[in-house]
Structure 1
Amino acid sequence: MKYFICTIFNVLSFFLMKHVGYGYITICKYLFLLNMLIITAFHDYKTKIIPNKYVLIMLVARCGFLVIECLLNTEVYKSILLLSFLGLLVGSGCFLLAYALMRGSVGMGDIKLIGVVGFYVGIRKIFSCMLLSLIISSIVLIVMIIMKKIKSKDSVPFAPFIAVGTYITLIFNL
């Protein structure tokens, strides 16, 4: 059943991204990212740990996609590389700052994960990914606190919110 749901998710996402106007390479890149985020989110939800191997797989795959993108767009390869690396730096930098200022607010896995998301989506979309992740997590956590499902000091896995925020950003091209 879960494979059927994943297949439906991918087919739907493909058509939504094609409708928005993404090219095939970009769609493949984003579908890979979203599928890895789903795997990572489920693992984080169950264990409250984001395995380095998942982040590394995403990082290596992104480098492969970057090579393809640069070879297909030789006239703008420098800007492709720059925007990707800036996305990585801004994403991980913002979360690293939160980690330094508010101990326990985010984990190192979250910092690495949002950095890799920034590497995929670039500087233009990483702000939307982060903002949506934070807004959605705030709403869900407030509801859970009101319903007394969690306490305000409880740690909560953040990868599921990163996955949802990234999905919304990519599907609506924010």
Structure 2
Amino acid sequence: MKKLFIKSFLVLIPLLYINICGISLHTLSMTFLFSTLFIISYIDCQTYIIPNYLLAPLFISGLLYQKYICTTISVVDTGLALLFISIVFLPVYLLSSSIGGGDIKLSYTIAVWLSYPDIIGAVLITVSTAILFSLYLIIYLKKNTSTLIPFAPFLSLGAFAAVLFHDHIANILEKWTLL
């Protein structure tokens, strides 16, 4: 049953994105990103581990995507995205055990794909949904704060939403900050 569920999502995610955006190299690249993020999320939910053998190729393909397909992203934008991830997640990783090393590597990988300012929207959505889910676990399921929660699904959801709702998020962020 689980394998059927996974295969269904691996087919539905690309079809949904292609239906919304049409077929192009950008769409195929994003489909690759989302499918890989779904696999990583599934593995994280099962094992609480994000495998490097999936992260390394995803990171490298993100760099190639920026250089050859999405040429509007500059090196400065990528640097700002990586700096933003460092400011938001690195202190949490270094000062507590609430986020793992795989989550940090995945967030850097997503930052390479999305770049600045899209990564801000992705992180806001990631953190918001993780907090809401944690509150649900604590209030309704009576879990305690030491309950392990895989973070990759929230990072993936944030990335997916940031790409799908790029224009809306950019408008909101423009009102909040000077981009």
Letter in 2 for 1:6: L
Q: Is the 8 A contact 1:90 1:115 kept in 2?
A: no
CA deviation string 1:74-119 (max 9, x = no partner): xx6xx52321233233224421122223x11211111110111010
Which structure is higher in RCO with an 8 Å CA cutoff and minimum separation 6? Answer: 1
The secondary structure found in structure 1 opposite 2:116 is helix
Question: 1:47-126 residue pairs with structure 2 within 5 A?
Answer: 47-69=47-69, 73=71, 80-101=74-95, 103-126=96-119
Report the counterpart of residue 9 of structure 1 in structure 2: 13
After TM superposition, the score normalised by the length of structure 2 is: 0.81
Give the C-alpha shift of residue 66 in structure 1: 2.7
Report the counterpart of residue 143 of structure 1 in structure 2: 136
Q: Is the 8 A contact 2:103 2:151 kept in 1?
A: yes
Q: Is the 8 A contact 1:92 1:112 kept in 2?
A: no
Change in Cα spacing, 1:93 to 1:57, as seen in structure 2 (3 Å) is farther
Question: Over aligned residues, Cα RMSD in angstroms?
Answer: 2.0
Report the counterpart of residue 147 of structure 2 in structure 1: 154
Cα separation, 2, equivalents of 1:64 and 1:147: 44
Give the C-alpha shift of residue 149 in structure 1: 5.5
Alignment size in residue pairs:
163
Q: Percent identity?
A: 24
Change in Cα spacing, 1:105 to 1:12, as seen in structure 2 (3 Å) is same
Cα separation, 2, equivalents of 1:17 and 1:162: 22
Cα separation, 2, equivalents of 1:87 and 1:30: 18
Change in Cα spacing, 1:69 to 1:13, as seen in structure 2 (3 Å) is closer
Q: Is the 8 A contact 1:89 1:115 kept in 2?
A: no
Change in Cα spacing, 1:149 to 1:25, as seen in structure 2 (3 Å) is farther
Report the counterpart of residue 169 of structure 1 in structure 2: 162
Structure 2 residues without counterparts, runs of 5 or longer = 170-179
User: Which moves more between the two structures, 8-17 or 125-134?
Assistant: 8-17
Q: Is the 8 A contact 2:63 2:113 kept in 1?
A: no
Q: Is the 8 A contact 2:63 2:112 kept in 1?
A: no
CA deviation string 1:113-145 (max 9, x = no partner): 011101000011111111101110111111111
Cα separation, 2, equivalents of 1:132 and 1:24: 26
Change in Cα spacing, 1:36 to 1:99, as seen in structure 2 (3 Å) is same
Letter in 2 for 1:80: S
